[in-house]
Structure 1
């Protein structure tokens, strides 16, 4: 049996559909509100209601589990970054061993081994979560991801109405960017074919490195209207997060992560046939961004 956490999330929902399309193995999901599952999905999975940070919920969810897809859910009001990642995951690490779970695939980030990995905020905390899972004795693969293409969907109104998108990175800094569909597909492959052993990372880098200037050019071409990049200071970035009700620990965690990305956090892995992923940014703009902007 495969257990999927965050089955209604941007990655988890895609991964769950991929599993249902590709395997007959029983699938169990851990979900706070089963009503959020699409009808076609709800009828094909065993749903355990609750938080996967709750040991009692984990005991029900992991009974008979051979593999787990693990995501630490966002918690904008967490008092510390460890509370978001390692502290939330600690009961699961114990439960994996207690229930004899063989394989765990988690969603994490690029950066391990880079000079800025120990001061990258959310990424540093995510890598510590990976270490905790790996120490539990399971076979573990961390999906090591750069920034998501889907992050731009938060700026759909600005792109449509003002022709502007913002970030904190230098305009000419080229870095990988990946679609959540590719991340989900990589996770599904690992969960279905569990011939792998030991621990490690599976980078998902997209097919090419792109700068913010490149993103603006491609968006302009696909949308048929000018789109320009406006670099945001870290101070303004912090203020925007605070304005959306994000707690201080997460504000500083995001700021440290973005500072580290600007210093090359995502550029430490070479793209190969194994680490690259297929969805080009232009394709994503045509299939996802343009319909969102037009809507």
Structure 2
């Protein structure tokens, strides 16, 4: 039995689809099961609740051997430590006595980074806590998600503007959610691996925002211009949208680290490209066409 958390999110939805197509028995944990596709509700076991809750996890872990772990976004959490480590504390408590032998987690790049990198550092501390339970643990260490760009889709289409707190000519790494989901599902379905290891999910290319907006211009059929905003403006936007002070600070610390090379820690190998082959153009054509 494979347990899937966050099954209605961008990555979790795709992981669930892969597992469903495989025909393997699965169970999902969902706060609101009505948001699940009918085929998922008809084919899998459903445990209603939050996977931060011990009682919910006890029901979900019963008879299970594999776990897909993804902490949902919660901008209102006290801080990144609470959002990742605190959220996962119940799982860390239950895993040693459960039948789960393999855990696949969505995490971040940055292990060994000398400074605090906000969300990225908290994700890695979560990984360390969960792998210490003795399970076989694979952490998908992800660069920035291409789907973050989609949050500005309406602005891009309507005004031809894209905003981000990074220099226009800075090359950064981005990965498509569908690639992350495919690798996650593969590790869950074929658990012939042991111990702990990180799987860099860094995409096939490094791109500047100038190049990205040029690609977007071709796809949406109008000129798209890039505008760099300050970290202070980014923090203010987050606070205005309901984020807590601690989570806004954590995001800024992560973005600063990314601008300084956090996601470039991993050297891109042929295996990395095979794991995350989707280019930004390919992703954008699906999202914006």
- TM-score interval for Structure 1 and Structure 2 normalised by the shorter chain: over 0.9
How big is each residue's C-alpha offset from its partner over 1:229-281, in whole Å with a ceiling of 9 and x where there is no partner?
Answer: 10010010011001101111101011111111111111111111221211111
- CA distance in 1: counterparts of 2:206 and 2:79, whole angstroms: 32
Q: Report how many residues are paired.
A: 287
Structure 2 counterpart SS, 1:85: helix
- The residue number in structure 2 matching 1:126 is 123
- The residue number in structure 1 matching 2:61 is 62
Alignment of 1:174 with 2:171, yes or no, is: yes
Q: Alignment partner for residue 159 of structure 1, among 156, 161, 167?
A: 156
CA contact (8 A) 2:219 2:288 kept: no
- CA distance in 2: counterparts of 1:244 and 1:105, whole angstroms: 31
Q: Alignment partner for residue 222 of structure 1, among 207, 219, 223?
A: 219
- CA distance in 1: counterparts of 2:168 and 2:192, whole angstroms: 42
Instruction: Return the TM-score normalized by structure 1.
Output: 0.95
CA-CA distance at 1:224 after TM superposition: 2.1
CA-CA distance at 1:191 after TM superposition: 0.3
- CA distance in 1: counterparts of 2:156 and 2:110, whole angstroms: 29
What is the correspondence of 1:66-105 to structure 2 with a 5 Å cutoff? 66-105=65-104
How big is each residue's C-alpha offset from its partner over 1:159-189, in whole Å with a ceiling of 9 and x where there is no partner?
Answer: 0111111111121111211110011011001
CA contact (8 A) 1:169 1:261 kept: no
CA-CA distance at 1:106 after TM superposition: 0.6
Task: Give the superposed CA RMSD.
Answer: 1.0
Structure 1 counterpart SS, 2:152: helix
5+ long unaligned stretches in structure 1: 291-295
5+ long unaligned stretches in structure 2: none
- The residue number in structure 1 matching 2:49 is 50
Q: Alignment partner for residue 265 of structure 2, among 263, 268, 272?
A: 268
Structure 2 counterpart SS, 1:141: strand
Q: Alignment partner for residue 250 of structure 2, among 253, 267, 270?
A: 253
Alignment of 1:5 with 2:5, yes or no, is: yes
- CA distance in 2: counterparts of 1:197 and 1:171, whole angstroms: 42
Alignment of 1:114 with 2:118, yes or no, is: no
CA contact (8 A) 1:148 1:178 kept: yes
How big is each residue's C-alpha offset from its partner over 1:142-168, in whole Å with a ceiling of 9 and x where there is no partner?
Answer: 111111111111111210111111111
- The residue number in structure 2 matching 1:18 is 18
Indicate the larger mover: 70-79 or 99-108.
70-79
